[in-house]
Structure 1
Amino acid sequence: MKSLLVHTPQLCHNKDTGEFSSNINFCAMGLYSLAKEIEKEGIESEIIHLGIEKYLNPKFLLSEYINEQKIKFVAFSLHWHPQSYDVIEMAKIVKEKCPQTFITLGGFTASYFAQEIMENYPFIDSIIKGEGEIPIRELTKKIANNDENLSTVPNLFWRKNREIVHNSNTFVATDEDLNSFTFFDIKKMKNFNSYAKIPFHLEYNKKNQLNNQPMSSQGICLGRGCTGNCTWCGGGHYATQKVTGRNFISYRNPDEIIKEIKMLKSECKIENFRFAFDPHPKNRACLMTLLEKIEKEFEGNLTTMFTLNGLPDKNFLEAYSKAFSKNSVISISPEFYDEKLRKKHKTFYYSNSELEEILEYMDKLEIHSELYFSTLPITTDQDNKDSDRYGKLLQRKYKCVEKYYLIPITYEPAAPWTINPEKFGINFVPKKFAEYRMNTTNVAQSFENPVFLATKEL
């Protein structure tokens, strides 16, 4: 049996120019580990990025590919909610044109809305709610053996005699589990060399977007979980516990992380890496161990963008400066100029004076940084102007601040203020999945839209 894991970007259509483009072009990090777990059952697995396939061949049809390859199992990744419309459209088309194919969904958004999705979209056969490596391995084994009793598959919503069943057994990956997973394999993704060059925003009518670009940076899984509950965040401790059942932090072994980085450098020629794991800013012992081992292995020649949840302290910065190259960047998110807003909405609070003390030390160590400020639905124009002015001030004042950003934040599924708006004084009615789905660009038939198919070959 052959199985397929599909990343579906958010497809956009400019009706004035007739041009198509896509956002959400980076795959969820877990797709590779899912594909490798399926492989352990002797089942062939492949990852497809619909945007890449469509850019390389405008006539590509997922449904045709599934039939040609005799694929029996398709898993759509629905991690970020802007994907919602396109994932549902593509799942519907696949079921219509490939009725014998078993379709499952996974990812944070699919997990959070699992019951509603199963109730309203009968062409979806199951949803893996939460972490998926062991569940998808068990599920594909069942499908390969034509076993219709899915009651033993962890984390699964499925259909039994037209009834929706949610299995009670739960899988949440431990440290040992994470160290047994393979988080990257170039051979698993169709046309990986093109994916490695994909821009944040892909325009299908423009040439050479995947040909002349350098290899993009690659995200590295350091662990799972968070101890924070920032009001707007759909991936904090409370949200993760609600969606996946995770109530603890799991760390990968530093030796496994270094092994993966070395493979990416040698086999894929990737030189820039993204780290975004800082679950406990007051206790970074595990991260410090990782930095020490990276320094020993790469001798300060590894380049990374390291996103931190909290403010780095001087010990962390000293270890960072030894571990990584001078081209590396630390991403820090003060969120607001107003300290009262920061204290109310951000779990890992620090004052402006504490921030500036650290930026001054980063100047001394010659560590580059990027700062991220936020506009929220509840912040005033004056709040946003103050944050913008403060970002400009910090960029002028400290050499280490290469860039600052002022980014709008929306109501994410599973975020604390989305679930309990009254607690935060917000006049907001929690959205259903259908509302998130219809709040995107809505290109009918998505990547099999007839107008899109008529786009001339590049």
Structure 2
Amino acid sequence: MADDIIFLHAPSVYDFRKKPIFYGPVSDVVPSTPVFEMYPIGFMTMSSHLEAAGFRTRIVNIAVQMLQSKDFDVEKRIKSLHAKVYAIDLHWMPHCHGAVELAKIVKKYHPDAIVEFGGFSSSYFYEELLAMPWIDMVMRGDSTEIPHVKLMQALEKGCTDFSNIPNLAWKDKDSKVHVNEVSFIPDDLDWVKFDYGTMIKNTMKHMDIKGALPWLGWDKLPMLSVFTVRGCSLNCAECGGSHEANKRLLCRGKAAFRSPEKLAEDIAAAGDYLKTPVFIIGDPRQGGKDYAERLFKNIHDLGVDNHIAFEIFLPAGDEFFSMVNHYIGEYSMEFSPDSHDEVVRLAMGKGYDNRSIEKTVTSSFNNGCTRFDLFYMTGLPSQTRESALDSVRAAKGLWDSVKKDDGLFIYNAPFAPFVDPGSRAFEDPEKWGYRFFARTLEEHRTLLENPSWKLVLSYETKWMNRDQIAETSYDCANELAKIEFEAGRIPEEMYTSRVERTEYARDVMRRIDEIMTIKDDIERNDKLWGIKREGEELMNSTINNKKDLDWLTGSIWSNAPRVAAGLLKSYLPFNRGKRRICQ
């Protein structure tokens, strides 16, 4: 039976398997590989709303399947799918090459179907996207669940005029572009249907676990996510999700929150299916102190026994962490100061001092935190090479401030590959000291086809050019490994292995630089292919130990009894109250 709408997720570059690409450390601090195969959580919420309205949906992660098998035939797979609408996400810019190429393939085999794009980057570049013959629609904004239901209802009625669908930019039968107002901008998020059960049921219905995985390896080490907010109250210069970027891209003038009660129910419902960490997207303090405390209390009252992972955008102290510890059983924290240089942080719009960072770390462990991830980056405004190295050196003081068995993980990675379109830095690069190699969608797509991650960088700064950013990234990696070893955090063999791997990656990058000077196209391409295997070996962990990001938890298969119990509960009227869920 054909589906009404299929959500497709593309790899960063199509077809990365047939190109000599050295990715480098661009995804060392995120769960996915450099192919960026993790699809947005909006796939699930849109699917939930559409299914509730009676439409058949499906999620197909093409990127994951391409990673799973070198023999996976994308065109054969696309040809085998049947739907009225193929919705492709272009949320963050690293997907801009693969997303457009996937649209071409869909149109090749399903010329009468609608190819639709959505996401932050789609909202920014909607005019350029609609100028392409293989893209019919762009759904703009950050809350497109209800607009999608309206769109599918209009298609079901045979409508060809979509002027009344909010947020939609579309082409008519004569290829004339119509741009509807972004008018669906809800003030809160309590209306959103957030149901992991929909995703599980659809996966079972289509008998396609591999094709629906959120990212490669999720089935072995699953993690669930919920969101507190759409929009942001902060205005970090380089962020495409900042307050000003939201206003520019998505017409959102203020943050919209999911109530603490609803959010706690989301977490409890997710925990019904898997005993795995639940990551809360968005600092709960953005909604105010009362918001955070209500959230923690409701999680406690619902008897949630999952590990809860929080992210915080600003420093915190004993008052906050003691409140978390009072209500939450097992929890961890993520915090991204980006730099230990206060001048750099201030330039980015983060005006807190270094003492507050140390206080945040120590206070968390004094109040029951089991793990704390801290992230620094290279390639920021006002950041010199020495400033970047100083951030890494600051790790010594942070590790010295806590016990050796406290789970403090400190990461440093390049700010790559692109500065987010719509961010303040992208819109006014001179003010923040950036120089860009790409401004349009097509220019970004062209950059992604370069053989080295350094050549993919869309920017350099007044303080460091591309070469310096790349070399400093490797220098920071070695310095961080040394400090981690000296702090007694890793054994000598791990330290040695990390430095050797970093130097190996640096050598591959430099060899690619030399190869790129060869004028003969055939010779240059042959030599690039000659080191492709070496690049693939460095694909997952280049300068950091990516396994540090993993929470040790059971696979989806070991959670099978819990999944079954959760599915049963979803079909029965159930008053949660205080309860313990299936182990």
Distance between the aligned counterparts of 2:112 and 2:212, measured in 1? 33
State the match for 1:275 in structure 2. 280
Q: Given the superposition, is the C-alpha separation of residues 329 and 262 from structure 1 closer, same or farther in structure 2, using an over 3 Å criterion?
A: same
Moved more, 419-428 or 237-246: 419-428
Q: 2:163 aligned with 1:162, yes or no?
A: no
State the match for 1:433 in structure 2. 441
Cα pair 2:62 2:211 within 8 Å, conserved:
no
Q: Which of 101, 109, 120 lines up with 1:108 in the alignment?
A: 120
State the match for 2:90 in structure 1. 78
Q: Given the superposition, is the C-alpha separation of residues 242 and 433 from structure 1 closer, same or farther in structure 2, using an over 3 Å criterion?
A: same
Q: 2:12 aligned with 1:32, yes or no?
A: no
State the match for 1:325 in structure 2. 329
Matched residue SS, 1:123: coil
Matched residue SS, 2:377: strand
State the match for 1:188 in structure 2. 202
Q: 2:312 aligned with 1:345, yes or no?
A: no
Distance between the aligned counterparts of 2:187 and 2:59, measured in 1? 25
Q: Percent identity?
A: 23
State the match for 1:423 in structure 2. 431
Distance between the aligned counterparts of 1:321 and 1:96, measured in 2? 55
Distance between the aligned counterparts of 2:287 and 2:260, measured in 1? 20
State the match for 1:454 in structure 2. none
Q: Which amino acid aligns with 1:389?
A: R
Q: CA deviation at 1:351?
A: 0.9
Q: 2:136 aligned with 1:147, yes or no?
A: no
Moved more, 102-111 or 43-52: 43-52
Moved more, 157-166 or 188-197: 188-197
Q: Residues 25-424 of structure 1 correspond to what in structure 2 (within 5 A)?
A: 25-54=37-66, 61=73, 64-65=76-77, 68-119=80-131, 121-131=132-142, 132-160=144-172, 161-175=174-188, 177-184=189-196, 185=198, 186-189=200-203, 193-194=209-210, 202=216, 214-267=220-273, 269-278=274-283, 281=286, 283-298=288-303, 301-326=305-330, 328-347=331-350, 349-367=351-369, 368-378=371-381, 379-399=383-403, 400=406, 402-409=408-415, 410-424=418-432
1:219-248 Cα offsets, whole Å, 9 max, x none, are 112221111111111100110111111112
Distance between the aligned counterparts of 2:438 and 2:66, measured in 1? 35
Q: Which amino acid aligns with 1:74?
A: Y
Distance between the aligned counterparts of 2:71 and 2:20, measured in 1? 23
Distance between the aligned counterparts of 2:77 and 2:438, measured in 1? 38
Q: Given the superposition, is the C-alpha separation of residues 102 and 114 from structure 1 closer, same or farther in structure 2, using an over 3 Å criterion?
A: same
Q: Which amino acid aligns with 2:322?
A: E
Q: CA deviation at 1:90?
A: 0.8
Moved more, 312-321 or 123-132: 312-321
Matched residue SS, 2:239: coil
Q: Given the superposition, is the C-alpha separation of residues 433 and 178 from structure 1 closer, same or farther in structure 2, using an over 3 Å criterion?
A: farther
Q: Which amino acid aligns with 1:164?
A: V
Cα pair 1:331 1:370 within 8 Å, conserved:
yes
Q: Which amino acid aligns with 1:393?
A: G
Q: Which amino acid aligns with 1:371?
A: L
Q: Given the superposition, is the C-alpha separation of residues 188 and 258 from structure 1 closer, same or farther in structure 2, using an over 3 Å criterion?
A: farther
Distance between the aligned counterparts of 1:240 and 1:405, measured in 2? 28
Cα pair 2:8 2:60 within 8 Å, conserved:
yes
Cα pair 2:335 2:374 within 8 Å, conserved:
yes
1:71-93 Cα offsets, whole Å, 9 max, x none, are 11110011121111111111001
Q: CA deviation at 1:191?
A: 6.0
Distance between the aligned counterparts of 1:197 and 1:68, measured in 2? 19
1:342-367 Cα offsets, whole Å, 9 max, x none, are 122134x2211122223332232232
Q: Please give the TM-score of this superposition, normalised by the length of structure 1.
A: 0.84
Q: CA deviation at 1:250?
A: 1.6
Distance between the aligned counterparts of 1:195 and 1:273, measured in 2? 22
Q: CA deviation at 1:44?
A: 0.9
1:184-235 Cα offsets, whole Å, 9 max, x none, are 3222345675478766xx5xxxxxx57xx63421111222111111111110
Cα pair 2:60 2:212 within 8 Å, conserved:
no
Q: Which amino acid aligns with 2:359?
A: E
Of structures 1 and 2, the larger Rg is shown by: 2
Q: What is the RMSD computed on CA atoms of the aligned residues?
A: 2.9
Distance between the aligned counterparts of 2:81 and 2:17, measured in 1? 30
Q: Which amino acid aligns with 2:260?
A: P
Cα pair 1:172 1:246 within 8 Å, conserved:
yes
Unaligned runs of at least 5 residues, structure 1:
203-208, 444-458
Distance between the aligned counterparts of 2:208 and 2:243, measured in 1? 33
1:387-419 Cα offsets, whole Å, 9 max, x none, are 010023312322345210112224111111111
Q: CA deviation at 1:376?
A: 2.0
Matched residue SS, 1:117: helix
Q: Given the superposition, is the C-alpha separation of residues 178 and 244 from structure 1 closer, same or farther in structure 2, using an over 3 Å criterion?
A: farther
Q: Which amino acid aligns with 1:97?
A: Y
Q: CA deviation at 1:104?
A: 0.3
Q: Which amino acid aligns with 1:338?
A: D
Cα pair 1:230 1:236 within 8 Å, conserved:
yes
Q: Which amino acid aligns with 2:319?
A: N
Q: CA deviation at 1:98?
A: 1.0
Q: Given the superposition, is the C-alpha separation of residues 53 and 191 from structure 1 closer, same or farther in structure 2, using an over 3 Å criterion?
A: farther
Q: Given the superposition, is the C-alpha separation of residues 153 and 62 from structure 1 closer, same or farther in structure 2, using an over 3 Å criterion?
A: farther
Distance between the aligned counterparts of 1:198 and 1:102, measured in 2? 24
1:100-152 Cα offsets, whole Å, 9 max, x none, are 11110001111111111112x11100101112112211222222222110111
1:319-344 Cα offsets, whole Å, 9 max, x none, are 11123334x21112222121122122
Q: Please give the TM-score of this superposition, normalised by the length of structure 2.
A: 0.67
Q: CA deviation at 1:259?
A: 2.8
Q: Given the superposition, is the C-alpha separation of residues 127 and 263 from structure 1 closer, same or farther in structure 2, using an over 3 Å criterion?
A: same
Q: Given the superposition, is the C-alpha separation of residues 116 and 18 from structure 1 closer, same or farther in structure 2, using an over 3 Å criterion?
A: closer
Matched residue SS, 2:227: coil
Higher strand proportion: 1
State the match for 1:451 in structure 2. none
Cα pair 2:225 2:278 within 8 Å, conserved:
yes
Distance between the aligned counterparts of 2:22 and 2:389, measured in 1? 35
Q: Given the superposition, is the C-alpha separation of residues 66 and 139 from structure 1 closer, same or farther in structure 2, using an over 3 Å criterion?
A: farther
